[in-house]
């Protein structure tokens, strides 16, 4: 009798399953059609281009193609629910995005049947289960969402929502953290983890960002190895892993000799962990 892994390989080949991989994901392609769904997007792409589009498009989980047509039917994880595997002779194909774990021949192994989808404001994880009825069923196992007017960023330490909060009449540095908490439950003054994250908010406003000057770096202290740039401050952002977003101008930060947290700006950059909805 063949080992279970070899049986899976033969079964995969018999059903015409193949894979295309790229980055953290792979596309598993089967003869099939969408069986249950709530919506889709229709693009005009050749088969291979359709599969590649889904592989590198963060909001795509499944694409459907049919012989003789240039339609590329695109489904997000929240739109597709069931895919029916059919005979290879029917000329219909479904490509499903999964995390890059096992080889293509092991697709029937349940441990490899996971995927994820990221948008500007949300993150979804899903599981794909194959039943004895030839149905591939999609189940959302985790759903995270940012509050209104916040944008989702992927940091080395996890997902983080960032938004610009404006205040009528302005806000001082001492009050900016409290103003973030008032604007969204759990929000704190954000850090400049990268220039990209700061670029989303600083182009139009003078704003406060996370960073409270250390007592040891306040006047009459002078610049030194212990008080020189980002190490002059303490930070409340739990997901801060790099200071790349703190690009100071020449001779800045200068408040080591001129304390000015009472300056009034239009708002502040706030951050919080995304809200779990599933």
Looking at domain 150-276, its CATH class is alpha beta
10 Å Cβ neighbour count for 246?
20
DSSP output for 126-152: EEEEE-TTSEEEEEEEEEEEPPTTEEE
- pLDDT value, residue 106: 46
- Evaluate if residue 60 carries a pLDDT over 50: yes
The pLDDT tens digits for 212-234 are 889 898 888 888 888 888 898 98
CA distance 278 to 276: 6
- pLDDT value, residue 13: 37
The pLDDT tens digits for 95-136 are 999 887 655 544 444 445 788 999 999 999 999 988 888 899
Domain ranges in the chain are: 4-145, 150-276
pTM above 0.85, yes or no: no
């Amino acid at each position: 009798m063949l080992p279970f892994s070899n049986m899976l390989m033969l079964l995969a080949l018999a059903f015409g399953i193949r894979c295309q991989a790229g980055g953290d994901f792979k596309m598993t392609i089967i003869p099939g059609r969408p069986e249950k769904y709530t919506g889709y997007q229709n693009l005009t792409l050749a088969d291979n281009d359709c599969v590649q589009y889904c592989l590198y498009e963060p909001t795509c989980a499944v694409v459907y193609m049919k012989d003789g047509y240039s339609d590329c039917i695109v489904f997000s994880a929240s739109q597709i629910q069931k895919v029916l595997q059919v005979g290879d002779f029917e000329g219909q194909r479904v490509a499903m995005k999964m995390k890059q774990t096992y080889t293509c021949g092991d697709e029937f192994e349940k441990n490899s049947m996971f995927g994820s989808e990221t948008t500007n404001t949300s993150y979804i994880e899903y599981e794909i289960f194959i039943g004895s009825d030839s149905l591939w069923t999609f189940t959302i196992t985790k759903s995270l969402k940012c509050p209104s007017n916040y944008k989702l960023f992927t940091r080395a330490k996890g997902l983080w929502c960032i938004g610009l909060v404006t205040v009528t009449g302005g806000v001082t540095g001492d009050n900016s953290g409290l103003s973030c908490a008032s604007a969204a439950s759990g929000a704190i003054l954000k850090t400049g983890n990268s220039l990209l994250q700061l670029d989303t908010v600083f182009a139009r406003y003078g704003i406060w960002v996370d960073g409270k000057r250390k007592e040891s770096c306040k006047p009459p202290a002078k610049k030194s190895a212990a008080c020189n740039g980002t190490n002059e401050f303490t930070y409340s952002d739990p997901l801060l892993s790099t200071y790349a977003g703190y690009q100071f101008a020449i001779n800045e930060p200068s408040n080591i000799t001129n304390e000015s947290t009472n300056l009034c700006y239009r708002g502040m950059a706030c951050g919080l962990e995304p809200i779990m909805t599933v």
